[in-house]
Amino acid sequence: SISQFFHILSSVEQQKGLCDVGDEKYEYTIYSSCCNLEKGIYYYRTYDNSQITAVDMNKENLEKDSLIVYPMVETQQINYAN
């Protein structure tokens, strides 16, 4: 499952603050991603937004000549239960 994939991948992600590269900058995992090739869906989550975002490639014209660009959802998204 997608959830299980991200749980496994999180075991090797680099946390901000562990590896100082100078000038108060740090190496860290900016995003994690995977793709379901059978369904044509790309999934990702970012360091600042742990909610999984999906891009359904079937909803795009992949044969056109121009690049398809999406804004990365970096702000934490919270699903309120009530």
Domain ranges of the chain: 2-59
Q: In whole angstroms, what is the distance from residue 30 CA to residue 44 CA?
A: 11
Q: The pTM is what? A: 0.84
Do residues 42 and 54 touch, judged by C-beta distance below 8 A? yes
Summarised one tens digit per residue, pLDDT across range 26-80 is 999 999 999 999 999 999 999 999 999 999 999 999 899 999 999 888 899 898 9
Pairwise CA distance, residues 44 & 49, whole Å: 10
Name the pLDDT band for 24 (thresholds 50, 70, 90).
confident
pLDDT of residue 81: 92
Q: What is the rounded average pLDDT of the residues 5-33? A: 93
Predicted confidence at residue 73, as pLDDT, reads 87
The structure tokens 């999180």 sit at 10
Mean pLDDT of 8-12: 94
